[in-house]
A and B are shown apart, each in its own frame.
Chain A
Amino acid sequence: MDATREIYWNVGHGVVAVMYLLTIAAVTGAAFGFKERLEIWRQGKSLDRFDRRGDRVQRMLATVFGQTRVSRVKDGGLFHSLFFWGFLTLLAGTMLIMVQADLLMPLFKVNILQGNFYRYFSLVLDVAGLVAIVMLGGLFVRRFFIKPKGLETVTDDYRIHALLFTILITGFLIEGSRMAVTELKQNPALALWSPVGYVFAQALSSLGDGALSGLHKGLWWFHLLLGLGFISVIPRTKLRHILTTSGNSFLAPFEPKGTIGTINLEDESIEQFGASKITDLTWKDLFDSDACTSCKRCQDRCPAYSTDKPLSPMKVIKTIGSVAETSPKKGLLEAVTADALWSCTTCGACQDICPANIEHVNKILEMRRNLTLMEGEFPGDEVRTATNNIEVNGNPFGMAYASRGDWAKGLPVSIMQENSDVDILYFAGCYASFDRRNRDVAANFLRICAAAGVKVGILGKEEKCCGEPVRKLGNEYLYQMVAAENIETIKGYKVKRIVTTCPHCFNTLSRDYRDLKFDVPVEHYSTFINRLIVEKRLKLKPEPFEFTYHDSCYLGRYKDIFEEPRAVLKSAGGKLTEMSRSGYDSFCCSAGGGRIFAEEKLGSRINVKRVTMASETGMPILASNCPFCLTMFEDGIKTGGFEGKLKVRDLAEIVAERIVQ
Chain B
Amino acid sequence: MKILVCIKQVPDMESHFRPNGSATWFDESDLAFRMNEYDEYAVEEAVRLKEQLGGEPEITVLSIGPDRVIEAIKKALAIGCDRAVHILEPEVASREPWQIASIIAAYARDKQFDLLFTGMQSQDRGSAQVGVLVAELLGIPSTTTLVGFAWADGVVTATRELEGGVKSKVRLKTPALVTCQLGLNSPRYPTLPNIMKARKKEITMLQAGELSSEKPLTGSAAFRHPEKRGSGVVLEGSVDELVEKVLVILKDKTAVLR
Contact = CB atoms under 8 A, between A and B. Distances in A.
Interface of A: 265, 268, 271, 273, 372-378, 381, 384, 387, 391-394, 398-403, 461, 476-477
B196 interface: yes
Interface stretch (B9-17, B174-182, B203-211): B9-17
B191 A400 contact: no
Contacts, number: 53
Given A392-B34, A401-B32, A461-B30, A477 B192 contact: yes
Contacts of B188: 376
B189 A398 contact: no
Contacts of B190: 376
A399 B33 CA distance: 13
Interface string B187-204: 011111101100000000
Contact of B12 (A374, A375, A400): A400
Given A372-B189, A373-B191, A376-B191, 11 more contacts: A273-B193, A373-B193, A374-B191, A392-B12, A393-B12, A393-B14, A398-B14, A400-B12, A400-B32, A402-B15, A402-B16
A86 B31 CA distance: 71
A400 B16 contact: yes
B189 A378 contact: yes
Contacts of A402: 15-16, 30-32
A393 B188 CA distance: 19
A435 to B, nearest CB: 15
Nearest to A403: B16
A400 B189 contact: no
B192 A374 contact: yes
B103 to A, nearest CB: 26
Contacts of B186: 381
Given A400-B16, A402-B16, A392 B32 contact: yes
A374 B16 contact: no
Interface string B25-48: 000001111100000000000000
A265 B195 CA distance: 11
Given A392-B34, A400-B32, A461-B30, A373 B14 contact: no
Contacts of A265: 192, 196
A399 B195 CA distance: 26
A403 B12 CA distance: 13
Contacts of A403: 16
Nearest to B189: A376
The 9 closest A-B pairs by CB, nearest first: A376-B189, A402-B30, A373-B192, A400-B15, A392-B34, A393-B32, A392-B32, A400-B14, A392-B12
29 contacts: A265-B192, A271-B193, A273-B192, A273-B193, A373-B191, A373-B193, A374-B192, A375-B191, A376-B189, A376-B190, A376-B191, A377-B189, A381-B186, A387-B189, A392-B12, A392-B32, A392-B33, A394-B32, A398-B12, A399-B14, A400-B12, A400-B14, A400-B15, A400-B16, A400-B32, A401-B30, A401-B32, A402-B31, A402-B32
A373 B189 CA distance: 9
B192 to A, nearest CB: 4
A434 to B, nearest CB: 11
A461 B14 CA distance: 14
Given A392-B12, A393-B14, A384 B189 contact: yes
Contacts of B189: 372, 376-378, 384, 387
Contacts of A476: 192
Nearest to A381: B186
A378 B30 CA distance: 29
